[in-house]
Amino acid sequence: MKISRALMEVRAFSHKEMFILAAVSGGRGSRAMLTALSELLGDRVVIMALTVDEGIPGVSDKRIEAAKRDCENLGIEHHVVSLKKVLGFTIGEVGELYLRGKLKLKPCTVCGVLRRYILNKMAKTMGADLLSTGHTLDDEAQEFLMKFIKGNIKDMTRSFSLGGAYELLVPRLRPLKYCSEEEIYAYLKIKGKSLQEAFPCPFVAGSYRDRVRQLLRRRIEEGNDVRNAIIKVAEGIARGLEAREIGRLKRCPECGEPTSRNLCRTCELKDIIKRVMNAHRKT
Ligand code: SF4
Ligand code: ZN
C-alpha cells in the first residue's frame, strides 16, 4: 500500500515502455525495492540495476556480490560502475588520506556526493526514465534533518521533490520512502528473502548521518516516532520551494552535469582530492 502510493506519485505505473534503473547496494533496502519493483511493475516496465563500486577495501566487493545475487534471484540485469574509472580515485583512498590527516573531507561527505553524481550520469547515459533508490522512511527522515540542521535549503528541494521538476536530473523514484526499517524487515521476511543488511562500512562510525540516525532512534525508543511527521514536512517544503524555482539547476561548466552552483560539488571535490593526492605523492 505504502509502496504503491510512492509509485503512483511519480506515475511509475503509467506507461509501458518505461525503463527504471535501480541503484542497489546489496542491503535490505535495495533488496526490498527490487522485490517490490519486480512484483508490482515487472510485467510492464524494463527494470535494470546498477551498483556503484566505491572501491572501499573489504566492503565494496562484498556489496557488489550481494547485489548481484539479489538481481540474479529476481532475473534483473545488473551493472557495476567503478568510481575510480569515472573520477580517478576510490573512496578507500579518500578515507586513507582523511585518516592520515592529509584531507579534511570526511569519506562519507565525498562518497554521498559522488555516488549521486555517478548514478544520475549513468541513468542519463543508459536512457533511464526513472532512477530508483532503496531509501526508507528512516533514510528520508535522516536526510531531511541533516539538511535542515545545515540550512541546506536548495538540496532539500531536490531530495524531496516528487520527481520530474528538474530537467537535468533523471526523476527519482523512492518506492520505500513511506516504509520504516521495521516494515522493510517484515516485508522481506514475508517474501522469504534474505534479511542480510548491506556489508558494514568502516567509515560510518561517527559520521554526521550516523549521529542523526542515533538521535532519531533515541526518539523512537522514548515513544516519540517522528519519522512520518518529518517526511510530511519535507515534502511540503520541497513543493513550496519547487513552485518558487528555488534550487533551479544549470550545467556545470567543467563536466556539464547539473548544479545550482558555479562549479558542481563533484568537480569541486575532485579538484581538492586530486590536489591533495598529487601533493602527497611528491612528499
Ligand atoms: Fe560511503 Fe560513508 Fe556509506 Fe561508507 S559509510 S559507503 S563511506 S557513505
Ligand atoms: Zn562538474
pLDDT digits (tens, 9 = 90+) for 199-217: 889 988 878 888 999 999 9
Pocket test of ligand 1: the residue of 54, 90, 115, 118 to mutate, having most ligand atoms within 8 Å of its CB, is 54
Give mean pLDDT, residues 62-89: 96
Q: How confident is the model at residue 157 (pLDDT cuts 50, 70, 90)?
A: low
**Would you say the C-alpha torsion 121, 125, 128, 129 has a positive or negative sign?**
positive
Q: What 3-state class would DSSP assign to 97?
A: helix
Q: How confident is the model at residue 45 (pLDDT cuts 50, 70, 90)?
A: very high
- 246 within 8 A of 237, measured Cβ to Cβ: no
Q: What 3-state class would DSSP assign to 151?
A: coil
| Ligand positioned closest to the Cα atom of 265 | 2
Q: Whose CA is nearest to atom 5 of ligand 1?
A: 204
| Ligand positioned closest to the Cα atom of 87 | 2
Q: How confident is the model at residue 3 (pLDDT cuts 50, 70, 90)?
A: confident
Beta bridge mates, 258: 251
Buried b / exposed e along 39-57 (16+ C-beta atoms within 10 A):
ebbbeebbbebbbbbbbbe
Lowest mean pLDDT of 8-12, 30-34, 81-85, 148-152, name the range: 8-12
Residue with the three cell numbers 557495476: 80
Please indicate, yes or no, whether the overall pTM of this predicted structure exceeds 0.85.
yes
Domains parsed from the chain with CATH numbers: 2-282 (3.40.50.620)
Ligand 1: list residues with CB < 6 Å.
54, 56, 91, 107-108, 111-112, 201, 203-204, 207
pLDDT at 163: 54
* Closest ligand 1 atom to Cα of 111: 1
